[in-house]
A and B are shown apart, each in its own frame.
Chain A
Amino acid sequence: MPVPADERQAFALRPEVVVTVLDDGAVLLDLESKYFYELNATAWAVTRFFELGATAEQADAAARAWGAPDGAARSVLDALAAEGLVATTATGAVPEVPAYEGQWSEPRVEKQPEPLQRVMVSAFDPSLPLAE
């Protein structure tokens, strides 16, 4: 899903995306596609804007205040949007997100190559069922 050029369009994480927050980032699991993603600390700091809904413009402005280069937040949104992890939402006030206080590094959204199985052997065994 490409991000529209309109900088005023707000995006939010889809409800099917489950977040696990870690000390140095987060892991996102898309329950629909079954893919999961590792985000480093800066990518997660930006993604927090899109937990509640924000525009790329809003997120970029906040990230610049943390010391991020221009377009850093937009690049995270692009990565999330390319994977279908965000959907458009109503534009509102800028969400209150804690400032990122560490040394800024390039945000990384890394997709894990192997999704979880959609159809499994049993409620205990997540393996792919053998052909019967």
Chain B
Amino acid sequence: MAGSAYGCGPLDVRLEAPDAPLGTRLKDALALYDVAWEGPGHRVQLVAEVGTPAASPAAGRFLSLARMMVDATTTGLRATTVSGAWAEGCFDDSGEHWLLSAPVELSGTDLGEAEHLLTLVLTTGWRRSGWVPMHSGAVTDGERCALVCAGSGGGKSTFTAALVRRGWRTLGDDKLLLRRVGAEPEVAAVLHTFNLDPRSTEWWPELGDLRRLPVYSTWTDKRRVPASALRADGVATVARPTDLLLLEPHADATETRVEPLTREAVLSCLMHQTVVPDDRDLARHIMGTVVRVARGLNGWRVYVGRDAYRDPESLAPVEAALR
């Protein structure tokens, strides 16, 4: 059992975990959070062990996920996965204390459930330290900052990467933290690693053959690529969001078109980029942030043509809208 520390945005995560495969899986996942934040972090203690399966499944009264259910307890949260892994967290003023247990037979795909539990640990810490996790990308030119939204597999990473190659800096392609400081919105980066489709090299051959990189999930063919591989100075850590881009792949068209979004559409889009647990206080915090930030954003629907990345100039209408 070895201890190690990780800065995951505002969190100071202390992990005690056995060796491979469980410990390695958790350490690899935590190491992805490569954006250094200043100051003492919100403390998260995580002890992982190989143990017995959960005695009883959680009911999902706090959160229902495809392979995991989460309930609130008197001291924190309790989660169980379909393969028997579980986690219990106790929260107090000093931070969160978690025990994560995976059955000894958990391996391969099922070991991904340990990562789902870890994601619960991190999102809980981020929320308790005042942030709202957002499943979106972001780019900034120093003045404007656009949140990049789309459904899973909707092209956030490739679109964000394309704008980075045109001189924009990115705060990430699908994981951001959002909050309000006074009346001002603020978005912050936690990792600068892109999840790119290997076909990206058709447009950007200088990235090399991405298929050489390991597949990190059975659910996607994407590969993890550092943002610096797109452009050395192509990253940012914090920005004030001004715009929202909702991507819609448009395979029948070659060009990229941009249309303004209504205020209602901006709100709906931003609301759908975050997880809202069934907890009144948490929901109020999340809504209070997201609804007010949405009100200040200019929204744009971007119909991404099939040749959008072959010709870099095809993204000029997007930049014109933002600027």
Give A residues with C-beta under 8 Å from B.
Answer: 15-16, 18-20, 22, 27, 29, 31, 36, 38, 110, 112-114, 116-127, 129-130, 132
Contacts and interface: CB of A to CB of B under 8 A. Distances in A.
Nearest to B265: A112
7 contacts: A18-B287, A19-B284, A20-B284, A27-B287, A27-B291, A116-B272, A124-B275
B65 A29 contact: no
Contact of A38 (B66, B68, B120, B264): B264
Interface residues of B, number: 36
A123 B63 CA distance: 8
A112 B70 CA distance: 27
A15 B281 CA distance: 11
A91 B268 CA distance: 35
A18 B280 contact: yes
B66 A121 contact: yes
Interface of B: 63-66, 68, 70, 116, 119-120, 122-124, 133, 135, 151-152, 175, 219, 264, 267-268, 271-276, 278, 280, 283-284, 287-288, 291-292, 295
Given A31-B278, A129-B66, A124 B271 contact: no
Contact of A20 (B68, B264, B288): B288
Contact of B133 (A16, A116, A121, A124): A124
B63 A118 contact: no
A31 B64 CA distance: 13
